[in-house]
Amino acid sequence: MDQLIIPKNYHSELDLHDTQIAIKTVKDFFQNLLSLRLNLQRVSAPLFVDPESGLNDNLNGVERPVTFGIKEQNEKPAEIVHSLAKWKRYALKKYGFSMGEGLYTDMNAIRRDEDTDNTHSIFVDQWDWEKIISKKDRNLDYLKETVRTVYKVLRKTEKYMAIQYDYIEEILPHDIFFVTTQELEDMFPDYTPKEREYYITQAKGAVCILQIGDTLESGEPHDGRAPDYDDWTLNADIVVYYPLLDIALELSSMGIRVDKKALLSQLDKAGCPERAELPFQKAVIKEELPYTIGGGIGQSRICMFFLRKAHIGEVQSSLWPEDVVKEAEANGIQLL
């Protein structure tokens, strides 16, 4: 119950029926513009993968994937994906994509160990995207250029929704502010990483936080990041200030993907060098996969933000603690 934020005098401007229409409006506009601006084609993607393939996202390394046995394959285990961060790079090669082309897909996942609150659910739905780049594009300038492109799509989506619905006002600033995790720690040395994100987004409105995963000068990382997809020196989160809940809200995570050098270094830092023997990781080390940039953009997160909802459960169907369900209903929060 402590995790539930209830805005004062909150009520949804849209009933359940009209909310469903608005969700489709947001998603259709955003994904169409994103695919156009980044040159992405939609593809089909797996809901589950072979654990031995190394394709699943290990997140922070402690979250348990949902597993099941396949009857006709002698109960061979399969894992529900946590995300498609690694699968996408493999798919770009398999599907025959060329330099400068990319893919996007609807990714659905179950994160059974998630701590739920207004913005977190055990059900994760996002647009996962990935694009082939050249080796020379593995640099900070290219990453920032891509971040700005994604942010412009977010701004145009907000502008479009403000035209469609009178109650929605534009709150995103014109430009996104870039800051590294070490710069954030230097600015706010006495605060936790999440508190730093809150204060910087409250001040700037929209922030791109760079270089997530490696250890900072304090001896602690800003946040966890799996060691085998993003290059920790070339990744980024887009975080915005959400005044309805008075929080920093992460909308997107992205990064230039590891090459051989970054992968081996990060596996060693993360204490899991044995993962270098898995098929996907071997393919990176042998340089059999293309250089890529990619990320995930939360579908329910952006719907919640653009429709000015107080809880992610107002735009997606999931399961919540019973006390949260009762408290939400008593305070005008309509969980699906």
CA distance 194 to 212: 13
* Contacting residues for 172 by C-beta, under 8 A, at least 6 apart: 154, 155, 158, 205, 206, 240
Residue 221 is classified by DSSP as B
228: annotated active-site residue: no
Point out the catalytic residue in the list 83, 89, 111, 281: 111
Among 31, 57, 211, 230, the active-site one is 57
Neighbouring-strand partners of residue 80: 48
- Catalytic choice (126, 211, 281, 316): 126
Three-state secondary-structure class, residue 319: coil
Residue 126 known to be catalytic: yes
Distance of CA 113 to the CA centre of its chain: 17
What b/e readout covers 184-201, taking b as 16+ CB neighbours within 10 angstroms?
bbeebeeeebeebbbebb
Catalytic residue among 130, 158, 230, 237: 237
Is 137 assigned a catalytic role?
no
Rg of the chain over all Cα atoms, to the nearest angstrom = 20
Q: Which of 253, 266, 300, 318 is catalytic?
A: 253
Is 237 noted as a catalytic residue in this protein?
yes
Selected catalytic residue, list 125, 137, 230, 250: 250
Q: Residue 98's Cα: distance from chain center in Å?
A: 25
Which sequence positions are flagged as catalytic? Answer: 57, 111, 126, 237, 250, 253
